[in-house]
């Protein structure tokens, strides 16, 4: 996948909040591009949820991120929760 895309960010977030959201999106990318531990993905998701509290906003970010990258945050988190441990790999 071409890595030349923009992340769906809200620039009213603080630097720390932006960092948490970017970290989560990077973990999702790793899940699709090779693999990431379920624990690392879920830990970054918890930090993401501390910033993005509303389900609607989370869904919007997922849709926008999937539209530009082809990677679904929803599917990555779902797989990590189902596995509970080990490596999450959603590569195509």
Extents of the domains making up the chain: 15-83
Q: What is the band of 7 on the pLDDT scale with cuts at 50, 70, 90? A: confident
Q: Which token pair is 7?
A: 């992340």
Rounded CA gap, 44 and 50, in Å?
Answer: 10
What pLDDT, in 10s, does the model give residues 25-43? 999 999 999 889 999 999 9
CATH superfamily of 15-83: BH2638-like (1.10.220.80)
CA-CA distances (angstroms) from residue 67 to 5, 49, 75, 83, 91?
10, 21, 14, 26, 17
Q: What is the pLDDT of residue 1?
A: 44
Q: Average pLDDT, stretch 2-6?
A: 67
pTM of the model: 0.88
Q: What is the pLDDT of residue 28?
A: 93
Rounded CA gap, 77 and 24, in Å?
Answer: 10
């Amino acid at each position: 996948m071409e890595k030349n895309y923009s992340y769906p960010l809200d620039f009213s977030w603080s630097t720390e909040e932006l960092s948490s959201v970017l970290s989560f999106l990077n973990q999702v990318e790793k899940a699709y591009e090779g693999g990431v531990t379920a624990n690392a993905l879920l830990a970054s998701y918890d930090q993401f949820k501390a910033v993005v509290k509303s389900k609607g906003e989370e869904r919007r970010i997922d849709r926008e991120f999937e539209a530009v990258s082809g990677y679904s945050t929803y599917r990555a988190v779902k797989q990590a929760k189902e596995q509970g441990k080990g490596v999450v790999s959603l590569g195509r």
